[in-house]
Amino acid sequence: MSIDKELLEILACPLCKAEVREVREGEGLQCVQCGRIYPVREGIPVMLIDEAETKEEGKEEK
């Protein structure tokens, strides 16, 4: 399943407001800036920081 292209264009990372791109064959959306992956549940992107996966654990930006 892939995400609607128009929807993808309006979606942005809630943290850095950067664009997101499809990963994992549409099962996730990754922020191009911070690399967080937001889950897509039943075709609905969950754009919540708390739900996002971070690729590099232990690397904090402060």
Interface with Zn ion (CB under 5 A): 13, 15-16, 31, 33-34
Nearest alpha-carbon partner for 31 in 51, 42, 17: 17
* The pairing of beta strand 44-45 with beta strand 37-41: antiparallel
Q: Using the minimum distance from each CB to Zn ion, give the nearer residue, 12 or 27.
A: 12
Nearer to Zn ion, 8 or 15 (CB): 15
CB closer to Zn ion, 27 vs 33: 33
Question: Are the beta carbons of 45 and 38 closer than 8 angstroms?
Answer: yes
Name the minimum Å distance from CB 32 to Zn ion.
8
